Amino acid sequence: MKTRFLYLTSLFLCMTAFFSSSCSSEETGDDLPLSALIFHSIDGKQAAFTALTHSAVSWEWNFGDGNTSNEKDPVHVYGEGGYYMAKLTAKDKIGNSVTAQVSLAVALTPYALLTGDHTAEGYNGKTWRLTQSHTVNDKLVNSDIAFSLLDEDIPSLPAGAFSVFVGLPEAYNDEYTFYHDGGYRHTPTDGSSFGGIVYAMILQQSGLAQITKTGGEAVFGQDVFAMTTCTPREDATFVFNESEDFSVPTVPGFATGVRPDGVPVVTYPGVMTIDFPGTGDFIGIRDFHRKVIVQEIKNSTMRLVMFMTLDPKAIISQDPLIALSTSAAILTFEAVN
């Protein structure tokens, strides 16, 4: 019995010494190399950071918006939503340093959703294309204030509508890339672009493009869409407006007002828009009217309103060229990357 007692006592003392040594080593961190990781959480525009470090005695944070902190576990409120790269530099007691960084998506604005994460490695804009699946909100409408249906028998566009019913599958080929710095790239994968036939005829008559294919007769009794040769500019730009009162020339029956020069217009109050001023570029549908309304934008989809002139009688002036919109296409685009 005495021998057993001495054995247990010795075992207890050894275990006590072992755990005491382990705890001492963990608390001081002297035996652990300098390291740093970032844990974070986001609520609206507020981000809470935790520095998970070993052997560090100081912490320097750069939140990616020009603000910094020396706290170990800071909380930071960003002034604007968007993509940010937060960086932590941790130092030990002899001045060695190690860094860690994390990409943040903070209360993303519509502009950030449109152009993508510009802080990501290898960022090359955000690319969109017209979705073939369409949605219940995709439709052809009149260019009036209510966007009434162009044809009551077509309440929404079925999947593959421009391919199956219009005969122009090429409508889904083009890709459109928006960059954070305002740059824009249009990529017509087969060298042609989809648009209204009236504008296509004007381009061809002016020697600016050639019509390669037409479609729509099976549905509308005449061709209303066309594919035309297209060589986009390499220095194209775009302008995004999150809220404005947007006026577009329209036929008198749809107008809500008149411009000083007597041209009837319909005005859509407080809408998001994308414009391509001075570059001749467009998104989705190539027509007289390049500026589009953004009805909805999410991370992977956006829905745009593109105006068209489908009646040659709606061209009311040749110099300057003024075409009244007669209709619009409300279409969904999907993010490619």
Q: DSSP assignment of 249-290, as one string?
A: EB-GGG-SEE-TTS-EEEEEEEEEEEE-TTT---SSSBSS--
DSSP code at position 64: S
DSSP code at position 157: P
77 and 165 both lie in a single domain: no
> Looking at residue 218, what is its pLDDT?
87
CA–CA dist 3, 314 (Å, integer):
110
Instruction: Give the tokens for residue 174.
Output: 């083009």
Where in the sequence is the domain holding 57, given as residue range(s)? 35-107
pLDDT-derived band at 21 (thresholds 50, 70, 90) equals: very low
Q: What is the mean pLDDT of residues 45-66?
A: 97
Side-by-side strand order, sheet with 75-77: 35-43, 46-54, 75-77
3-state DSSP call for residue 33?
coil
> Looking at residue 17, what is its pLDDT?
44
204 and 91 both lie in a single domain: no
| pLDDT tens digits for range 187-211 | 997 899 999 999 999 999 999 999 9
* Residue 298: count of CB within 10 angstroms of its CB: 11
Residue with token string 């060695």: 96
133 and 254 both lie in a single domain: yes
205 and 289 both lie in a single domain: yes
Q: What is the mean pLDDT of residues 164-172?
A: 95
Answer whether residue 24 shows pLDDT above 90: no
Residue 79 lies in a domain: yes
| pLDDT tens digits for range 249-306 | 999 999 999 999 999 999 999 999 999 987 789 999 999 999 999 999 999 999 999 9
158 and 285 both lie in a single domain: yes
> Looking at residue 30, what is its pLDDT?
54
Phi and psi at 96, nearest 5°, equal -65, 150
137 and 261 both lie in a single domain: yes
154 and 55 both lie in a single domain: no
| pLDDT tens digits for range 61-74 | 999 999 999 999 99
140 and 72 both lie in a single domain: no
Q: What is the mean pLDDT of residues 201-230?
A: 95
Helix (H) or strand (E) run with residue 177 in it = strand 175-178
Please count the structural domains in the chain.
2
Residue 18 lies in a domain: no
CATH for 58? 2.60.40.10
pLDDT-derived band at 59 (thresholds 50, 70, 90) equals: very high
134 and 47 both lie in a single domain: no
Is the pTM of the predicted complex or chain greater than 0.75?
yes
178 and 267 both lie in a single domain: yes
Residue 17 lies in a domain: no
What is the chain's mean pLDDT, rounded? 91
175 and 248 both lie in a single domain: yes
Q: Report the range of poorest mean pLDDT among 16-25, 42-51, 127-136, 227-236.
A: 16-25
**Percent of the chain beyond pLDDT 90?**
86
| pLDDT tens digits for range 75-117 | 999 999 999 999 999 999 999 999 999 999 999 999 999 999 9
61 and 181 both lie in a single domain: no
Whether cis (ω within 30° of 0) applies to the bond prior to 320 is yes
